[in-house]
Amino acid sequence: MTVSCRLLGYPANQISILTTYNGQKALLQDVIERRCANNPAFGRPHKVRRRPRLSSHRQLCDQPALPHIPLLVSLLLALR
């Protein structure tokens, strides 16, 4: 994901990765260190964070009439 964003022209300091589990966070950090950190074309993302309540917020807003609400909630949680 970080590589895709960088190839699309986003600066590394504007890329954040959210996950719901500590294991995923550790794995992402390890992959970033091994594959992206030393590559000047990609670099490290600004943040890799764990958001334990992210999935529960999506479930609360999972309504067919308002499909954009879960994405909006996720975006607002990422900006906190």
The distance in angstroms from the start CA to the end CA of the chain is: 21
**What is the distance between the alpha carbons of residues 4 and 66, in angstroms, rounded to a whole number?**
28
Structure tokens at 46: 């600004």
State which amino acid sits at residue 40: P
Find the domain containing 75 and state its range.
2-79
Overall number of domains in the chain: 1
Across the range 68-79, mean pLDDT stands at 67
Assess contact for 61 and 69: CB atoms under 8 A: yes
Helix residue ranges per DSSP H, the chain = 2-7, 22-31, 54-60, 69-79
pLDDT of residue 30: 92
Confidence band (pLDDT; 50, 70, 90) for 69? low
pLDDT tens-place string over residues 5-59 = 888 888 888 888 888 888 888 998 998 898 888 888 888 888 888 887 655 555 5
